[in-house]
Structure 1
């Protein structure tokens, strides 16, 4: 997780943002506001600034870090946008408590350490089908409309690891289906879910019991526990393009979340 994005602020002349002390270090160190924000974030997440406690005043921070008031305000603004502190007009800035709701996890943490170039995708089937009520509702198409139906098996060390089912809106003007059929490596498939293809989406992780079809595909007994990662991918205009789910063999996966800044 990226806590501080230095590109989110509009670029301004250095003499409007930073004083002489900051400008002297500009060529050799990260921007002063970023260094301050990182230091203060560490103090909040480590408990140096206890939850609910008031941070040093702006003038105290200016003195400690030898920077201008504008630089301190910029650093505090970044912390507030990340939910680490809360500013109260006339009272100061206070450290927030870190709740479980502030935790994040990366999708690649699900795969432990086995996700590498040896993992492959085997295309089991690719066909056209008519959208039933569920598919029509998820893709936002009419009942009976033609959609693309894909089934894949992700292999690790030649053994089944993930069973993937996906429905894609059919549009002969788009190269989407052709590009999907060409994917063979797991990394290529995971990378294809980035902004260059699906800039928006929603993921849902649940525990399920394998039905007969998925159990056979994964080489597991029917009813065995598995993780289900359901995905809905959208275009920039929030039009749904793809809906599907991964069924993951439970013993191969773990979920790790991190609290606070990294």
Structure 2
């Protein structure tokens, strides 16, 4: 299937053929490509050559490589609006994606200086710490931790476990609605734990939002740190 001695590297020929197959629709968004061993046998080359071809497709943004799972045709990115009123489930539902939330940790802890400053409380004051993972159509796209002052929300850990939603838990405490006071967005490399939770390589950067939500009177009710998988999510800042 490959032409040798033409000056075009074998990996490049394989890259170009797979690129054409993706463009033609043989492999659609989300489809898994054949394994390295299968492609190696199909093209009659070693696996190193196949890896070089797949690496090129990943660099071109055509596929994503998941450790231990294989290579997949990249789906369209999720546009995640950040505005005065930001809700995870609503953002995904508007794009006809199925939102999901996986509770990973719900405990009470002492606020460190950064959390205390954001919530306008004293360092050492007790806060509820809720860590969860967000999903879109069953795909892990975010890993977040939110903090809530216990002085305002005693029993928040129990309430969140019951309702499974920040919005519903806050309504339980009488906060009918809340809005975003500020959002700070940065990009960085994930820790080993963060990469594992997002099911991505440590070498792939994440987008991080640090946000403060306030109630109708302007009182801080939540400080959140959310990591987004940068190959899945594009953050849009809206007025």
Matched pairs, number: 153
Q: Is the 8 A contact 2:107 2:157 kept in 1?
A: no
1:112–1:254: structure 2 CA closer, same or farther, 3 Å change rule? farther
1:144–1:113: structure 2 CA closer, same or farther, 3 Å change rule? closer
Q: Is the 8 A contact 1:131 1:143 kept in 2?
A: yes
Q: Which has the higher strand share?
A: 2
Q: Which residue of 1 aligns with 2:151?
A: 171
Q: Which residue of 1 aligns with 2:227?
A: 247
Deviations 1:112-146 (A, max 9, x none): 88954622100001001011222222212112111
Q: Is the 8 A contact 1:225 1:250 kept in 2?
A: yes
Q: Report the alpha carbon displacement of residue 193 of structure 1 after superposing the two structures with TM.
A: 9.0
Deviations 1:138-169 (A, max 9, x none): 21211211110110011234331110111111
Q: Which residue of 1 aligns with 2:215?
A: 235
2:155, 2:230 → 1: CA distance?
34
2:193 equivalent to 1:213 = yes
1:242, 1:217 → 2: CA distance?
22
Corresponding residue SS for 1:254: strand
Runs of 4+ in 1 over 6 A off after TM superposition: 111-114, 190-195
Unaligned runs of 5+ in 1: 1-103
Q: Which residue of 2 aligns with 1:152?
A: 132
Unaligned runs of 5+ in 2: 1-80
What is the CA RMSD across the aligned residues, in angstroms? 3.7
Q: Report the alpha carbon displacement of residue 204 of structure 1 after superposing the two structures with TM.
A: 2.3
TM-score (norm 1): 0.47
1:31-42 superposed matches below 5 A? none
2:114, 2:176 → 1: CA distance?
27
Deviations 1:12-58 (A, max 9, x none): xxxxxxxxxxxxxxxxxxxxxxxxxxxxxxxxxxxxxxxxxxxxxxx
TM-score (norm 2): 0.51
Alignment partner for residue 198 of structure 1, among 163, 178, 181?
178
Q: Is the 8 A contact 2:116 2:122 kept in 1?
A: yes
